[in-house]
């Protein structure tokens, strides 16, 4: 983007959408903490409790890293890697309704947290129909991954957790895709988004490559229904229910695969199974892009916060994720780990399937 006027307009438009988003979701976070009395409790915990070191992470550091993420997001837009994004948070009415759903659910979450109740969704009706590891109330969420309300609440919960930066983090998975799509006819490429959830990342994929055929795969029928509604305006897009450990697609049928914010929720063996499936469905020369939490040692100042996170949110596999060796897993699947790039509290991991030439 060389035109100074276009650059200024883009910057103003970016700030005009992202800053209110930050204020909206950071505001939710603040109100949530006040309601839970956490502000007072945290002050005590920080002195001598298990979150002591986590609480000591300088808030200025967090806000400075968040600002870096937004600066990177804007730089990508100015470099025309992707267009000025539309977050599609819905009308004011939709946002207020989701806000109500979010706050109404907090007492149930708190109750589960206190009782360490994490298996509500494992019932006679659900057991055996999904992998056991899946049938849990991750983050103490109501309905696990199984209900319509859970799908409707999910994006507010994630954006509150990340102070309105979840979508900006997701967009950091687009530049490595641009590298492999550049100069190619997008209509002849295919992308698979594994564990697509409510479809927010696919929305940014389609905003960038509207004619790219894309598939979203997720094990939750409710989340898939939500994603289909959210993505209804796009053509050449399918959202299918399925297990990422056994992707219902032929070998070498996709040019790119992505998986965001999911590997930390998989047990080690499932992580390996999903990785193997990614390698299988990629064409030679294809690319896998993962985006997920920072791991232990990536940013030493964050280590204590990362260790503390699964104690407060039900994240049974996060501890093993923190030390997972993704380069080694990639090697066993025939993929090459190219690089990682930090994106606030997450990182983008890039893997290629060699062409074999
Ligand atoms: C934390 S959410 C991430 C969703 C989305 N990628 C995002 O950016 O927000 C995890 C998602 O993974 C899905 N999931 C977990 N295990 C799965 C599996 N084995 N196969 C397919 N989807 C799975 C869940 O249903 C849920 O939608």
Q: What angle do CA 305, 308, 314 make, to 5 degrees?
A: 125
What pLDDT score was predicted for residue 55? 55
Helix axes 174-181, 200-208, angle to 10 degrees: 40
- What average pLDDT does the segment 147-174 reach? 97
**Residue 236 predicted with pLDDT over 60:** yes
What is the Cα–Cα distance from 1 to 99, expressed in whole angstroms?
37
Is 195 near ligand 1, meaning CB less than 6 Å away? yes
Quick one: which atom of ligand 1 is closest to the CA of 260? Answer: 6
What pLDDT score was predicted for residue 52? 46
What is the Cα–Cα distance from 236 to 187, expressed in whole angstroms?
9
Question: How does pLDDT run across 33-89, given as a tens digit for each residue?
Answer: 888 875 445 544 444 444 445 556 788 899 999 999 999 999 999 999 999 999 999
Q: Quick one: DSSP state of residue 220?
A: -
For residue 157, the CA-to-ligand 1 centroid distance in Å is 15
DSSP 3-state assignment of 134? Answer: helix
Question: How does pLDDT run across 316-327, given as a tens digit for each residue?
Answer: 999 999 999 999
Is 254 near ligand 1, meaning CB less than 6 Å away? no
What is the Cα–Cα distance from 323 to 301, expressed in whole angstroms?
16
Query: Ligand 1 pocket: which of 129, 155, 197, 346 to mutate (most atoms <8 Å of CB)?
Result: 197
What is the Cα–Cα distance from 50 to 310, expressed in whole angstroms?
12
Structure tokens at 279: 């390698």
For residue 156, the CA-to-ligand 1 centroid distance in Å is 16
Query: Ligand 1 pocket: which of 130, 160, 218 to mutate (most atoms <8 Å of CB)?
Result: 218
What pLDDT score was predicted for residue 40? 47
């Amino acid at each position: 983007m060389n035109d100074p006027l276009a650059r200024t307009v883009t910057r103003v438009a970016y700030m005009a959408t992202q800053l209110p988003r930050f204020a909206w979701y950071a505001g939710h976070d603040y109100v949530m903490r006040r309601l839970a009395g956490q502000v007072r409790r945290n002050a005590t915990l920080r002195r001598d409790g298990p979150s002591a070191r986590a609480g000591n992470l300088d808030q200025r550091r967090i806000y400075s890293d968040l600002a870096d993420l937004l600066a990177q997001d804007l730089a990508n837009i100015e470099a025309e890697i992707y267009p000025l994004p539309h977050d599609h948070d819905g009308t004011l009415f939709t946002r207020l309704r989701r806000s109500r759903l979010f706050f109404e659910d907090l007492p149930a979450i708190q109750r589960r947290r206190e009782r360490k109740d994490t298996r509500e969704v494992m019932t006679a009706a659900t057991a055996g129909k999904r992998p056991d590891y899946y049938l849990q109330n991750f983050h103490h969420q109501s309905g696990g991954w199984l209900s319509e309300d859970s799908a409707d609440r999910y994006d507010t919960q994630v954006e509150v957790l990340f102070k309105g930066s979840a979508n900006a983090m997701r967009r950091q998975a687009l530049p490595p895709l641009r590298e492999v799509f550049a100069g190619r006819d997008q209509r002849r490429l295919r992308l698979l988004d594994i564990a697509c959830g409510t479809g927010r990342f696919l929305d940014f994929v389609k905003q960038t490559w509207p004619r790219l055929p894309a598939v979203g795969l997720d094990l939750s029928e409710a989340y898939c229904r939500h994603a289909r509604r959210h993505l209804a305006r796009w053509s050449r897009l399918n959202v299918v229910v399925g297990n990422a450990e056994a992707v219902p697609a032929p070998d070498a049928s996709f040019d790119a695969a992505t998986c965001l914010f999911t590997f930390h929720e998989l047990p080690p063996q499932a992580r390996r199974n999903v990785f193997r499936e990614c390698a299988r469905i990629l064409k030679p020369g294809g690319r896998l892009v993962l985006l997920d939490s920072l791991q232990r040692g990536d940013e030493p100042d964050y280590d204590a916060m990362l260790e503390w996170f699964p104690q407060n949110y039900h994240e049974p596999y996060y501890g093993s994720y923190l030390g997972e060796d993704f380069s080694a897993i990639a090697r066993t699947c025939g993929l090459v780990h190219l690089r990682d790039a930090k994106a606030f509290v997450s990182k983008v991991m890039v893997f290629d399937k060699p062409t074999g030439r």
